[in-house]
Structures are given as structure tokens and as C-alpha cells.
Amino acid sequence: MNDLIEALTIFQKYMNSPHPTGCVHDEMIVYCKQRVSPEDRKRLKELSFTWKKDYDGWASSRFGSA
């Protein structure tokens, strides 16, 4: 749970949306389109989030379930 909260806290720096997340094919998607700093990209990867062009957002199969 702490890893998910940390990832969402990072995303919060870059977006403020009333509908920031979704689940597709057992992946949690965070629809953060803004540029994320290299340091935050590295940490998000460590927290299991990667950029998915197909979803136009950051995805994690660790936290997603459809």
C-alpha cells in the first residue's frame, strides 16, 4: 500500500484531475500526460509504473485488476 501511495503522491505533483485513474486489462492506469522529471520517472519505474503510449498514461500491473 505504501508504494501505491508514494506513486500517487508523485503523480499528484504533475496533475489534478477529477478522474485520474482507470483499469484496463489488469493494469492500473494513471492518466498523467504531463512531463515527469527524470528522477520521478526512475522512482515510478521502481514502484512498477511505466509509460504506456497505448493508454496515454502510466500503467502498473502490480496494482491493477479488472
> What are the residue boundaries of the structural domains of the chain, listed by start?
2-60
Task: Count CB atoms within 10 A of the CB of residue 55.
Answer: 15
Within the chain, strands assigned E span 21-24, 27-30, 50-52, 57-60
> CA 5, 18, 11, 63 torsion: positive or negative?
positive
pLDDT for 33 equals: 82
Query: Whole-prediction pTM value?
Result: 0.90
pLDDT for 35-56, tens place per residue? 899 999 999 999 999 999 999 9
